[in-house]
Chains A and B, each alone.
Chain A
Amino acid sequence: MGRHDTGVKAIAVRGLRKGYGERRVIEDFSLEVEAGEVVAILGPSGCGKSTILRCVGRIERADDGTIETGGEVGFVFQEPRLFPWLSVRKNVAFAARNDAERARVDETIALVGLTPAAPQLPKQLSGGMAQRAALARALIRHPQVLLLDEPLAALDALRRLELQRALGGILSLTRAAAILVTHDVDEAIAVADRAVVLEAHGGRIVLDLAISPAARSGEPESHAMQRAALLRALGVAEGDARRTDAARRASPYF
């Protein structure tokens, strides 16, 4: 199914449950990602997409369920989160643990197209450049698993499109299994091999759709079809959210 299909599971999540105090965010979430496969997680805001990703990345501890990730995990946050006192080059080198990884710093910066900006400080970078640097920092350890938490959400439309294209290329080059959390259907189609749509509450998958290469390359008909399928699933999810909220407001016993 993936672009580099080997049949090996790089990420396996089963029965993930996570809440904050009384609030149950994820009740039952399961997902398998093959090596080299890119999976987009779509869902209405507040459905727990980011929570799932943070659990898979061990940034947060899951309440229940099993999470298996094969090999090194790289994480890209919604904001670049660069260390402001370090240049781009040193920010990328920050994640390097040995000489072999340090030797790859310039090459990785070139991969994300940031070579001219390598000596610059984060405050001198545009939003798109900063996010590229953050991506390079996550790539320096050659991760087998890449977790991307709405990495393009903070960018303006033009930059988003530009970086979306770059991200697709970089992901297929690195051959890492990746989960891309996004709320943008077009981004999911452009970057991912597979898109899953989550329910508004609880994290159950309402649609698991393989993105056809034709749709990804922008062939209008298949693009429109897959877009419609994803939007319909999202609409149902969002409709559920609205109905639940309306029911809550209407009934004191809900």
Chain B
Amino acid sequence: MGSRLLVPAILLAAWFWTTSAGIVKSYQFASPAAVLNEVTALAQSGDLWADVGISVERVAIGFAAALLCALVLGTLVGSSRVAERALDPTLQALRAVPSLAWVPLLLLWLGIGEAAKITLVAIGGFVPIYVALVAGIRGVDRKLIEVARSLGLHGAALALRVLVPATLPTLLVGMRIGLTQAWLFLVAAELLGATSGLGFLLTDGQQTTRTDEILVAILLFALCGKLSETALRALERRAVGWADTIQA
């Protein structure tokens, strides 16, 4: 535990010292005290909760949409060669497009409202989940399917009792990466034309040269990302503790 906290402690001390000694100006990098003040001020005005709230909401809705689409398309492509030939090349090509490239198109289509932001988040979250699910379904041990078939299992029963549990570990890893991607795409969405959210805090801080505000946004991003990842990791441990891996 001590060794894990050592580096953050040194960084914090260096931050404290460089800003208080005046080596770094406050318009370049705000002091810890200034950041703390800003957090308190934002919390008191209620802006903090509103911005965190709206960002979390966008990620949650976008991620849920991504999960739904990935489950449908991934299952289709993973279990049918026809669907694979029809859909997979297109989806793989979409995957190669950098996130920001979507922004102009989404703004034109959907305006600068919520829909454009949520769509961008969903695109970001979709890809890793889809890729993982297809790989997971392909990787199911054929010998286990043979056992289930020899016991008379077919169709939905086979899928539910063998394919779903066997695919779950890979799917959950994909979901964890997808969630990180969703947060990444949220920043892209909120940096461009948002009036609320953590990304808005970033642009607002930049325009008013308030480094304390920028730092607050960055720290909150770190916190939200870490918390959501921890939640999914806990889910993973509960759901796939059976997997015979080094991690487990």
Please tell me if the beta carbons of A77 and B242 are within 8 angstroms of each other in the complex: no
User: In chain A between 68 and 82, which residues have their CB closer than 8 angstroms to a CB of chain B?
Assistant: 75, 77, 79, 81
Please tell me if the beta carbons of A84 and B243 are within 8 angstroms of each other in the complex: yes
Determine the distance from Cα of A58 to Cα of B161 in the docked complex, in whole angstroms. 21
Residues of A within 8 A of B161 (CB): 94
A59 near B: Cβ within 8 Å?
Answer: yes
Most chain A CB within 10 A, of B144, B150, B161, is at B150
Residues of B within 8 A of A81 (CB): 143-144, 146-147
User: In chain B between 161 and 181, which residues have their CB closer than 8 angstroms to a CB of chain A?
Assistant: 161-162, 165-166, 168
A123 near B: Cβ within 8 Å?
Answer: yes
Q: Smallest CB–CB gap between A102 and chain B, Å?
A: 14
Q: Smallest CB–CB gap between A86 and chain B, Å?
A: 8
Please tell me if the beta carbons of B242 and A85 are within 8 angstroms of each other in the complex: yes
Please tell me if the beta carbons of A85 and B166 are within 8 angstroms of each other in the complex: yes
Against B, the Cβ 8 Å flags (1 = close, 0 = not) of A111-144 are: 0000000000111000000000000000000000
Count of B residues near A, CB < 8 Å? 17
One of A57, A77, A79, A85 near B165 (C-beta < 8 A): A85
Q: Smallest CB–CB gap between A129 and chain B, Å?
A: 15
Q: Smallest CB–CB gap between A229 and chain B, Å?
A: 34
Against B, the Cβ 8 Å flags (1 = close, 0 = not) of A39-59 are: 000000000000000000111
Q: Smallest CB–CB gap between B149 and chain A, Å?
A: 8
User: In chain A between 174 and 192, which residues have their CB closer than 8 angstroms to a CB of chain B?
Assistant: none
- In chain B, what residue has the closest Cβ to A73? B150
User: In chain B between 97 and 149, which residues have their CB closer than 8 angstroms to a CB of chain A?
Assistant: 143-144, 146-147, 149
Q: Smallest CB–CB gap between A50 and chain B, Å?
A: 13
Determine the distance from Cα of A77 to Cα of B145 in the docked complex, in whole angstroms. 13
Residues of A within 8 A of B150 (CB): 57-59, 75
Judged by DSSP, the binding face of A is loop
Please tell me if the beta carbons of A85 and B151 are within 8 angstroms of each other in the complex: no
Residues of B within 8 A of A122 (CB): 242, 244
Most chain A CB within 10 A, of B144, B146, B151, B152, is at B151
A95 near B: Cβ within 8 Å?
Answer: yes
B52 near A: Cβ within 8 Å?
Answer: no
Against B, the Cβ 8 Å flags (1 = close, 0 = not) of A228-246 are: 0000000000000000000
Determine the distance from Cα of A81 to Cα of B144 in the docked complex, in whole angstroms. 6
Q: Smallest CB–CB gap between A223 and chain B, Å?
A: 35
**Known contacts A83-B144, A85-B168, then 15 further A-B pairs from the complex at CB < 8 Å, ordered by chain A residue:** A58-B150, A59-B146, A77-B143, A77-B146, A77-B147, A81-B143, A81-B146, A81-B147, A83-B147, A85-B165, A85-B243, A94-B151, A97-B152, A121-B242, A123-B242
- Report 28 cross-chain contacts, Cβ distance below 8 Å, ordered by A residue: A57-B150, A58-B150, A59-B149, A59-B150, A75-B150, A77-B147, A81-B144, A81-B146, A81-B147, A83-B144, A83-B162, A83-B165, A83-B166, A84-B242, A85-B165, A85-B166, A85-B168, A85-B240, A85-B242, A85-B243, A86-B242, A94-B161, A97-B152, A122-B242, A122-B244, A123-B242, A123-B243, A123-B244
Chain A residues proximal to chain B, CB less than 8 Å: 57-59, 75, 77, 79, 81, 83-86, 94-95, 97, 121-123
Chain B residues proximal to chain A, CB less than 8 Å: 143-144, 146-147, 149-152, 161-162, 165-166, 168, 240, 242-244
